[in-house]
Amino acid sequence: MSANNSCSPLEGSLAWCEGRPVLPGIKRRVYYTHKSNITKWPTLAKDEYGRPTASQFVGSFELANGKYWSYIDLLVNSSGITSEPQGEVPSQTQLNKLVAVHPGTKEEATMLAAYVNNSDVIYIVEESDGKFRVIGSEAFQSKSTVNQDGGQGPTGTASTTLNVEVTDLIPAPFYDGEIAISASEIINPQGSGSGN
């Protein structure tokens, strides 16, 4: 068998049932942690050529002892995730982006810049349909920047905006493992806890 024939394309049908609603946007909370807190990543299936063969992680993120996911509450109508292609064949990848707008510019919101500036941070975002997605990559470094707008009175809006960009092999992978935000509070997106 020639080399050209041994590497079959990854393809499949993409159906949609007419009338089935597609809920846009994300929910009001995003979770984040520094990559150095992660001791074990969930796995994403790949073939022998390194091509992802699934869009969902299997398993849970495991964090170092005493480390937990933090969260940011959002203005959902101003926040969202996107993904766009970047690069050229054979090095084309996805640039995954998160815009997370938090109301206000007080001390705690201002400290967000100290947490994420110049740091490799991983984010988990819940979409409106209840699915969770990861903005962050084990292989590539994320870039997080924070903007603040004090607003203009009396009707302006004061906000802190987190902008995230990270390269990945696919658009923001799905995640159904655990998200521990404290020793006693563990969010279990799909009820499995292990992604199995």
Domain assignment present for residue 188? The answer is: no
With contact defined as beta carbons under 8 Å apart, do 143 and 166 qualify?
A: yes
pLDDT score recorded for residue 191 = 54
149 phi and psi, to 5 degrees?
Answer: -135, 115
Q: How far apart are CA 173 and CA 139, in angstroms?
A: 14
Q: Which residues make Cβ contacts (< 8 Å) with residue 28, sequence separation at least 6?
A: 73, 74, 75, 76
Q: Which residues of 161-190 are buried (b: 16+ CB within 10 A; e: fewer)?
A: bbebbbbbbebbbbbbbbbbeeeeeebebe
Q: How confident is the model at residue 71 (pLDDT cuts 50, 70, 90)?
A: very high
Angstrom distances, CA of residue 195 to CA of 8, 80, 103, 108, 190:
28, 24, 33, 33, 8
User: Would residue 18 count as lying in a domain?
Assistant: no
pLDDT in tens, 108-157: 999 999 999 999 999 999 999 999 999 999 999 999 999 999 998 888 88
pLDDT tens for 147-187 read: 999 998 888 889 999 999 999 999 999 999 999 999 999 99
> Taking 80 as the threshold, does the pLDDT of residue 195 lie above it?
no
Q: What is the mean pLDDT of the chain?
A: 92
1 domain-assigned: no
Does the pLDDT of residue 4 top 60, yes or no? no
More confident residue, 140 or 192: 140
Q: How many domains does the chain have?
A: 1
Provide the whole-model pTM: 0.90
Determine the structural domain holding residue 103 and report its residue range. Answer: 24-182
187 found inside a domain? no
In a domain? residue 37: yes
In the three-class reduction of DSSP (H, G, I as helix; E, B as strand; rest coil), residue 155 is classed as coil
Phi/psi for 29 (5° steps) reads -140, 135
Within a domain: 55: yes
Q: How many C-alpha atoms does 190 have within 13 Å on its Cβ side?
A: 17
Q: CA 3, CA 147: separation in Å to the nearest integer?
A: 50
Give the residue from 102, 147, 139 showing the smallest Cα distance to 122: 139
pLDDT of residue 10: 86
